[in-house]
Chains A and B, each alone.
Chain A
Amino acid sequence: MAIEGAAARPALPTGAVRSARQDLLALLNRWGWVKVLLFLMPACLLLMVYLVIPIVMLIVMSFYRSTLFGVVPDFSWNNYLHFLRNPMFPNLLLRSIRLAVTVTAISLLVSYPFAYFLARGTRRFRTTLLILVMVPFWTSYLIRTMSWLPILGIKGLVNYSLMTLQLVESPVEAFLFNQFSVVLTLIHIYLPYMVVPILSLDRLDGRLLEAASDLGATPLRTFWHVTLPLSLPGVVGGIVMVFIAAFGAYVTPKLLGGSSGIMFGNVLADQYSGTFNWPFGAVLALIMIAVVLGLLVVASRFARLDAVFGARA
């Protein structure tokens, strides 16, 4: 058998090349970890350059001193103290967290029934409907932010409709350049971040629901004891994704926030483009990362986050 099989093999390299190749394969087979290491090497190198070393740079920079003549190496806690002493910065941080929480909460309230609709309310157009949720997800958030200008502006769609219906006499300015427009737009942009995890992890088996109702559970009890626990990992995943995205927002508050809707990210970015205080900017960036990691620690108590992000180790 083995000999016949060998005759039917696809053409392989011959001679020295072949034996070198076999030596290599034999080596890799003997030391499996060599293969793992070789395959992981490029990703590790990239992660070092993209994530690890830059964050170390942030930490180092956060202790430096910013002077009129540029950044001076130092080891001082002054930048951290500067953050704490000036109430403007902690207040801004709290306001940004509050805005991000608002965006996350409303997204969840909107998405949950919507995901339920996609999972159970449709049959025929399901794929199309799913694609329609995904398309905005694939479209530039710059454009999705910009797209609210002609809706909320003084001459925008909302004011136009209100005027036509004679509900208001003059255009309302209150729709744009404030916290409202920022929250609304962030919800619009990041809604798919909430819908998709809820959907993909919702391994809701119709038979479970039937079983529950056969055993005499009311729809409410079924929802509370079956549907909700099963969808919890997706919900936690969605909360994490939307909060991080909203909290780290820069474009939306910059473009639609006016002065009252400015967020933490804008002040952080200003340290690098306007005021050029790199050490203080590093402190702000580290605080932003710390908030996100804190959220992850809390979230991981409620669900296995690895699964949320698609990992299957």
Chain B
Amino acid sequence: MTDARARWFLRGYGTAVYIFLYTPIVMLIVLSFNDTNSITLPWGGFTLRWYRALAENQSLFVSLKNSLTLGLITALLSTVIGALAAFAFRSRFRGQVAAMRVLLLPFVIPGLTIGVALLLLFHALGVRPGLLTTTLVAHVGFTLPYVFVLISTRLHRFDESLEEAAMDLGADEITTFWQVTFPLIRPGIVGSALFAFTLSFDEFIRTLFTIGNDNTLPIQIWSTLGSMVSPELNAIATLIVAASFALVIVGELLRRRER
């Protein structure tokens, strides 16, 4: 096989994988404008009525508001906690490798078992499950390792001679941090907060076991899937996909501006 032919083969293959990845999502978007009562084909003409139905769905707005609140608080907390931990890992200390492994352990424990185990814990403690108590703990714990890794990677690439220069010029640690270090790593911090927000916004399984009677958007979608399946779901999904796209692009722009 010649080089050119190999390249065309690879391109064709790449395109096929993208088609596989995107066909279901594109279908979902198309069907959200479908003027029938089922979530699948056949095509019954173009309509916006499912989006109008969304606008009148009160419980949906409550769960959306809950998801946004939870996502913002989660992002804030896990970014602060994760950044502190990442800074701790800049100095050498005994047991560093072991500590790192423990911090990364949540990556590999299936969410379902975490959800169940948290349910046991909160039940034993007699904590009433709720959005900003038990679920918040679950979400901050879930997002922490991601934030920690992202910020660590950023700090690892950080040029320490800039800080040394500031200190040589007489700035103390705190001044150096706010005047030199923080402005330089800010895009990384904002990016990881964004990531934590998205993770929290999409989280389902840990939420299911810790939320009690409250609702987040994924929980609301899940209970809707169990009862009535209407194109309204496609409309919600389309909006979420659009929001995710926007967030990824914003994140990518932030990352680029940093370079």
A residues whose Cβ falls under 8 Å from a Cβ of B: 2, 5-6, 8-10, 12, 21-22, 25, 28-29, 32-33, 35-36, 39-40, 42-43, 46-47, 49-51, 53-55, 57-58, 61, 110, 113-114, 116-118, 120-122, 127, 129, 131-136, 138-144, 146-151, 153, 155-157, 160, 188, 191, 240, 244-245, 247-248, 250-251, 255, 265, 268-269, 272, 278, 281-282, 285, 288-289, 292-293, 296, 306, 309-313
Contact = CB atoms under 8 A, between A and B. Distances in A.
Interface in B130-155: 137-138, 140-142, 144-145, 148-150, 152-153
A129 B102 CA distance: 34
Interface stretch (B48-56, B58-66, B183-191, B233-241): B233-241
Contacts of B31: 150
Contact of B91 (A35, A46, A309): A35
Interface of B: 7, 10-11, 13-14, 17-18, 20-25, 27-28, 31, 38-42, 80-82, 84-85, 87-89, 91, 93, 96-97, 99-114, 116-121, 124, 137-138, 140-142, 144-145, 148-150, 152-153, 156, 168-175, 179, 198, 201-202, 204-205, 209, 218, 221-222, 225, 229, 233-234, 237, 240-241, 244-245, 247-249, 252
A268 B209 CA distance: 12
B120 A57 contact: yes
B240 A114 contact: no
A55 to B, nearest CB: 6
A120 B218 CA distance: 38
B223 to A, nearest CB: 11
Contact of A255 (B13, B202, B209, B225): B225
B124 to A, nearest CB: 6
Contacts of B91: 32, 35-36
A43 B82 contact: yes
13 contacts: A43-B81, A46-B141, A50-B118, A51-B109, A54-B114, A58-B116, A58-B120, A132-B22, A140-B221, A155-B38, A160-B41, A289-B113, A309-B107
Q: Which one of A39, A153, A155, A265 has the highest number of Cβ atoms from chain B below 10 Å of its Cβ?
A: A39
Contacts of A118: 14
**Closest 10 A-B residue pairs measured CB to CB?**
A50-B141, A248-B110, A54-B117, A147-B24, A39-B88, A121-B10, A43-B85, A150-B40, A140-B202, A310-B149
Given A39-B88, A43-B144, A306 B113 contact: no
Contacts of B170: 2, 5-6, 8-9
Given A40-B88, A160-B41, A288 B27 contact: no
A285 B205 CA distance: 14
Contacts of A32: 91, 93
B117 A134 contact: no
A12 to B, nearest CB: 7
B113 A157 contact: no
A143 B113 contact: no
Given A51-B109, A58-B116, A113-B13, A150 B81 contact: no
Q: Which one of B93, B112, B245 has the highest number of Cβ atoms from chain A below 10 Å of its Cβ?
A: B112
A143 B241 contact: yes
Contact of B241 (A5, A139, A153, A306): A139
Contact of A250 (B7, B109, B112, B118): B112
The A interface is mostly helix, strand or loop, or mixed, namely helix
Contacts, number: 273
Contacts of A143: 28, 221, 237, 240-241
A138 B14 CA distance: 20
A160 B244 CA distance: 29
The B interface is mostly helix, strand or loop, or mixed, namely helix
Contact of B110 (A121, A191, A247, A313): A247
A57 B121 contact: yes
Given A43-B144, A50-B141, A153-B40, A10 B175 contact: yes
Q: Which one of B7, B24, B221 has the highest number of Cβ atoms from chain A below 10 Å of its Cβ?
A: B24
A65 to B, nearest CB: 15
Contacts of B11: 117, 121-122
Given A43-B144, A151-B23, 17 more contacts: A42-B81, A55-B117, A127-B252, A134-B248, A140-B240, A142-B204, A155-B41, A155-B42, A188-B21, A268-B116, A272-B119, A285-B113, A292-B110, A309-B107, A310-B150, A311-B100, A311-B149
B118 A244 contact: no
Given A160-B42, A313-B89, A146 B116 contact: no
Contacts of B142: 50
B36 to A, nearest CB: 10
B221 A289 contact: no
B103 A47 contact: yes
B80 to A, nearest CB: 8
